[in-house]
């Protein structure tokens, strides 16, 4: 079972996250999600546990638990939603100059 863990302290490491859950059973993986740009934690992570009973026990015990001065949000992870292409930056049709039909041009005098 894939478990979402939110509201983590920004200093939390993968090993610390794993240790929170190992008390309740076997942990297949644990990772804190990091920002690509800054390399800093985004304050949430995911834990994978293969035994559903152990995973549910961990969710029950850790949801709302205060660790590192923050109250954790722990629940079964939902599947990632498909997102369209990212907008912004350069490229075509994004505002600015050019593009679009503005009608005939009049000469400037």
- In percent, how much of the chain has pLDDT > 70? 82
Q: What is the pTM of this model?
A: 0.74
Q: How high is the pLDDT of residue 63?
A: 98
Which whole number is the average pLDDT over 1-15? 97
Average pLDDT over residues 80-103: 63
Number of Cβ within a 10 Å radius of residue 72: 19
The residues near 53 (Cβ < 8 Å, ≥ 6 apart) are 25
Q: Which residue has 């990632």 as its token pair?
A: 80
pLDDT tens figures, 32-52: 999 999 999 999 999 999 999
Q: Are 12 and 29 in contact (CB under 8 A)?
A: no
- Whether the per-residue pLDDT at 60 is higher than 80: the answer is yes
Residue 89 has pLDDT above 90, yes or no: no
The domains of the chain, with CATH numbers, are 2-73 (3.30.70.330)
Tell whether the model's pLDDT for residue 100 goes beyond 80.
no
Q: How confident is the model over 63-73, as pLDDT tens digits? A: 999 999 999 99
């Amino acid at each position: 079972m894939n478990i979402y863990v939110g509201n983590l302290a920004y200093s939390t490491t993968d090993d610390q996250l794993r240790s929170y859950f190992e008390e309740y059973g076997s942990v297949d993986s644990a990772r804190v999600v990091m920002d690509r740009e800054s390399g800093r934690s985004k304050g949430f992570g995911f834990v994978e546990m293969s035994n559903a009973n152990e995973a549910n026990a961990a969710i029950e015990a850790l949801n709302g638990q205060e660790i590192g001065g923050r109250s954790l949000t722990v629940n079964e992870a939902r599947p990632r939603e498909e997102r369209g292409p990212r907008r912004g930056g350069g490229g075509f049709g994004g505002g600015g100059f050019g593009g679009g039909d503005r009608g005939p041009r009049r000469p400037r005098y």
